[in-house]
Structure 1
Amino acid sequence: MSSTKNTQGVPTSTVTRDVRQLDQTTGNLYESLVVIAKRANQISANLKEELHGKLSEFASSNDNLEEVFENREQIEISKHYERMPKPNLIAMDEFLNGKVYYRNPSKEQK
């Protein structure tokens, strides 16, 4: 099964992972999953903010039913974001390639 990749090299579809790779960095599978989940939330928030910023350029203060029409640029922007890999896939790729900085304060205190 081959997955398509975007320009960043991140797969855009679900990929089967070997869970033994996930605990190599932290020593704990569940700790790794928490790191990945938190990074995915950060990515999601950033993408959402970026998308809303781009779409707000098209907002009009006096919209009514007669003035509302399809805006091709707005549709293309939305389609671009829909085609992007999901935040959890980006976070997983970053984690497995050592691009995520994390720390565990409870481990640092010991």
Structure 2
Amino acid sequence: MDLKKTNAPVNTMTYDRNQIDEPTENIYEAISIISRRAEQINTEIKKELIDKLEEFATYNDSLEEIFENKEQIEVSKFYEKLPKPHALAVQEWLTDKIYFRNTEEDNQ
């Protein structure tokens, strides 16, 4: 996922309920799908952030010396400015980028 190219809002927005529940015709099912996708996005972002921060990590045995690592600070600031995972998930939902299926209907 390319986080720089996303057009999800950074601030809180109000969405039309009818747009959210249109694909499933059930608002609770739609919110459940969006929340699961938000959890996936959050896990991806967290893993990516930890990997990038470890590139710049300096390991010290001494507790007395603490250094500010400018690269780590810049990476952290970039990730703080990103839209939240739920905003990314809602944006994906509204643009039909989330695949979902109802397993109960598949079994019947």
TM-score, normalised relative to structure 1: 0.88
Alignment of 1:2-13 (within 5 A): 7-13=5-11
Aligned mates of 1:54, 1:90 — CA distance in 2: 21
Segments of structure 1 that go 5 or more residues without pairing to the other structure are 1-5
Q: Which of structures 1 and 2 has the larger relative contact order (alpha carbons within 8 angstroms, sep 6+)?
A: 2
Instruction: Give the 5 Å matches for 1:78-93.
Output: 78-93=76-91
1:51 is aligned with what amino acid?
L
Match of 1:101 in 2: 99
Note closer, same or farther for the CA distance 1:70–1:61 as it changes in structure 2 (3 Å cut): closer
Q: How many residues align?
A: 105
**Partner in structure 1 of residue 59 of structure 2:** 61
Letter in 2 for 1:21: Q
Gapped runs of 5+ residues in structure 2?
none
Query: Could you say which residue in structure 1 is the equivalent of 2:72?
Result: 74
The RMSD of aligned alpha carbons is: 1.4
Counterpart-to-counterpart distance in 1, 2:14 and 2:33: 19
Percent identity between matched residues is 47
Q: What is the letter of the counterpart of residue 40 of structure 2?
A: Q
Report the alpha carbon displacement of residue 108 of structure 1 after superposing the two structures with TM: 1.4
Structure-2 residue corresponding to 1:3: none
- Does 2:18 match 1:24? no
What is the letter of the counterpart of residue 58 of structure 1?
A: F
The 2-side partners of 1:56 and 1:104 are apart by 40
